Structure 1
């Protein structure tokens, strides 16, 4: 399940980047690990559930129904069924999610999954590279579910998938190879990347892994 140094080296060569470049990405995106121990002590893939994407990707008829039920509940116009109450309960937990510990991320994701599995999987980022589920086609997967199942198998699959994404993201590999961390950060994390110092973190991580041939 844990990716080995040899596998990292092989993937870096395959995709034409240096190992320190790859190591920097993995450290900054997910602290160098694609899994965590859940509340039962079992390994579980790391995620970040994004409520704003879930709202966008949820089919319109479901979204409309939720808003109508919410309005009726707030105004006391109708007595909701247990199924309707559960729907609104799941919706509230899902859409209030912020960047949080993994247990909270998974709680929000599971509530979203109960409403619409595909939209939920597309609306979360997964594993070592924290690749969003809606990017599954760029990685060569037919669906977000197919991508998630592959990523659940091992960190190797997560890193390989992330590299396929980087390879297909216009301008990304050129920015990485030229060590243009500002451009890398913008392409990977959006125009607000500087607010979190993402480019600085990448640059520092790259220097750390490059220094004295340190690659662990």
Structure 2
């Protein structure tokens, strides 16, 4: 029987506030050997608790790559468990580990995920997950680099508590001002805080919710077969309030992709400012206080890619910019 499950910090990870602990019945059966938890046997509340733990450890739980707490032990949660077991030398003998980097592109990554076999959550794996969580807390190698903030973001994700412009400005406005001032002082680069806040509103709505891109993991594993799969997995995710892809880590001053995951909120906001000023054409735009419609298109294409117009990214960015400008006087 594992005792870590009753640790106060672990309890905050697996238990949403003000909810019943229905998963405890499953745990008792699990510990007694009466049941194995897999895609077909666990109850929704148990799966949600398990998903919260996986997300806290930095694993995507949806086949889309999202960090989702939906109570469905689907293909994405199955992949997360398989990844954790492989990265911690817990994969069962004969498990086809190459399926974790299955052939795919961005269009079919979600459908091809079926090649990863079903895996079971065993007692040794659960114990290792709990140990890994406590170790990460002790080393501060957790989302946002702070336990209380990580729990806040986890609960916001669970409740889908997205922030509007006013709340984003209240929570992150000061840090955006500081990031703007630091770039001006250190590199004589001008970026107005409204641009940083607009990206936060557009990309994450103020809630840190990473996203995993399987096709990048497949690509990187071919390019660097000797690199640890965990690091490649982090390079294949978008992180933080600005959803910056992990493979950009060196260009914004980080030592590894995982460092983007563990970065405190203030550093995440600084990373957005740095990322927006890497390219001269974009740097010229974000120095403006009265940007035009074409200016928003420049930033949208840079940040979201050539298909930005399909979902009106530039128009949304313009709307958020104007709202933040009004809020900030």
Q: How many residues of Structure 1 are paired with residues of Structure 2 in the alignment? A: 148
Q: Distance in 1 between matches of 2:268 and 2:328?
A: 19
> Which structure has more RCO (C-alpha within 8 Å, separation ≥ 6)?
1
Match of 1:22 in 2: 196
1:5 equivalent to 2:120? Answer no
Q: TM-score, normalised by structure 1?
A: 0.61
Comparing both structures, which one devotes a greater share of its residues to helix?
1
Contact 2:196/2:272 (<8 A) preserved: no
Q: Cα deviations across residues 76-121 of structure 1 (Å, max 9, x unaligned)?
A: xxxxxxxxxxxxxxxxxxxxxxxxxxxxxxxxxxxxxxx9211110
Match of 2:239 in 1: 126
Contact 1:23/1:215 (<8 A) preserved: no
Cα offset, 1:5, TM superposition: 3.1
Bigger radius of gyration among the two: 2
Is the alpha carbon distance of 1:204 and 1:124 closer, same or farther for their aligned partners in structure 2, counting shifts above 3 Å? same
Contact 1:167/1:173 (<8 A) preserved: yes
Query: What are the residue-to-residue correspondences of 1:161-172 with 2, within 5 Å?
Result: 161-172=271-282
Query: What are the residue-to-residue correspondences of 1:113-152 with 2, within 5 Å?
Result: 116-149=229-262, 151=263
Query: What are the residue-to-residue correspondences of 1:68-147 with 2, within 5 Å?
Result: 116-147=229-260
Match of 1:193 in 2: 308
Q: Distance in 2 between matches of 1:21 and 1:186?
A: 14
Match of 1:184 in 2: 299
Over the aligned positions, Cα root-mean-square deviation in angstroms equals 2.4
Contact 2:191/2:273 (<8 A) preserved: no
Q: Distance in 2 between matches of 1:208 and 1:138?
A: 30
Structure 1: which 4+ aligned runs deviate by more than 6 Å? none
Cα offset, 1:4, TM superposition: 4.4
